[in-house]
Amino acid sequence: MERYIDVNGARLWTVSDGAGPAIVLMHAAIVDHRAWDAMVPMLVSAGYQVVRYDARGFGRSDTADVEFSNRADVLAVLDALDIGAAALVGNSRGGQVAIDTAIEFPQRVVAVVAVGAGVGGFEGSLTPDEQTLLDEMDRLESADPTDIAAIAEINVRIWVDGPGQPAGRAPGPVREAVRAMDMANDLPHRVAGRPIRLVPLANERLMELRCPVLAVAGGLDLSDVPQVGERLEAAAPNARAVVLPGIAHMVGMEDPRRLSDIVIDFLRPLGTWA
């Protein structure tokens, strides 16, 4: 099933495959819903309904320049597909939205898998070399936001190959797929809207995160990513963290089988849900 779902001031391109308890896959800020393509058949074969959607301003979704809640958009997708509750699997930005949604709407979220995710209000520590890379990324984006090729190149270096890793460490098809999606997301005509932050921020509310949470970090990712997992393990009632060596930020693209197995093993004890 492929369709647009109308929400406040926007249309969200949504794809649903399979049948069974629902898993919603939420993409990172440098890609769109296609970043999860390789994982979908494995999750469907395991007996799940797998939902993907492009967030506002990404992929095939569009939005007016309006204020909106990413958490409300998740619920709009669930409601449109008649899904009472779902497991949320989010990469990077998608993982942060998943955590926020589980805090604000706990009755709609049965579990969260946060892959390379942040937690709103939590600041980890970076190495000097990592900070230099991020400063260069910020400089490029500020100097000429229309130079989408240069911005995509540094995003691939940081998020796909991994900071400090040689260019081309990650598989070529993954690098080029991310590059193409990132450049499309950064086209000058794209409108992102104005997201409304969760208040108070999630870092102050992790005790409210009652559902099972698994924080997955790549061992080649930025240093602050596994620190998010440590923070969740320490503060959320039912959270644990795992670090996967030899992989960077785009875990589901670089090793879809490994992440699919992790998600299936994590969710299997929960049985079925509505």
- SS3 per residue for the chain: CEEEEEECCEEEEEEEECCCCEEEEECCCCCCHHHHHHHHHHHHHCCCEEEEECCCCCCCCEECCCEECHHHHHHHHHHHCCCCCEEEEEECHHHHHHHHHHHHCHHHEEEEEEECCCCCCCCCCCCHHHHHHHHHHHHHHHHCCCCHHHHHHHHHHHHHHCCCCCCCCCCHHHHHHHHHHHHHHCCCCCCCCEECCCCCCHHHCHHHCCCCEEEEEECCCCCHHHHHHHHHHHHCCCEEEEEECCCCCCHHHHCHHHHHHHHHHHHHHHCCCC
Six-digit token string for 17: 């495959």
Q: How many CB atoms lie within 10 A of CB 36?
A: 26
Paired tokens of 28: 């990172």
Q: What pLDDT score was predicted for residue 69?
A: 97
pLDDT at 263: 98
Q: What is the pLDDT of residue 46?
A: 98
259 Cβ neighbours under 8 A, 6+ residues apart: 39, 115, 216, 251, 252
**In angstroms, rounded to a whole number, what is the distance separating the alpha carbons of residues 49 and 72?**
20
φ/ψ of 266, rounded to 5, equals: -70, -40
Residues 124 and 230 sit within 8 Å (Cβ to Cβ):
no
The pLDDT assigned to 145 comes to 84
Segments making up each domain of the chain, as ranges: 2-124+190-270, 128-185
Cα 211 to Cα 238: distance, rounded to the nearest angstrom: 6
Q: Give me the pLDDT at residue 142, please.
A: 86
Q: Are 183 and 159 in contact (CB under 8 A)?
A: no
CATH fold of 2-124+190-270 reads: Rossmann fold (3.40.50)
Q: pTM, whole model, 2 decimals?
A: 0.96
Q: Could you report how far apart the first and last alpha carbons of the chain are, in Å?
A: 19
Which pair of tokens denotes residue 88? 């949320």
Residue 105: what pLDDT? 98
Residues in the chain where the model's pLDDT stays below 50 = none
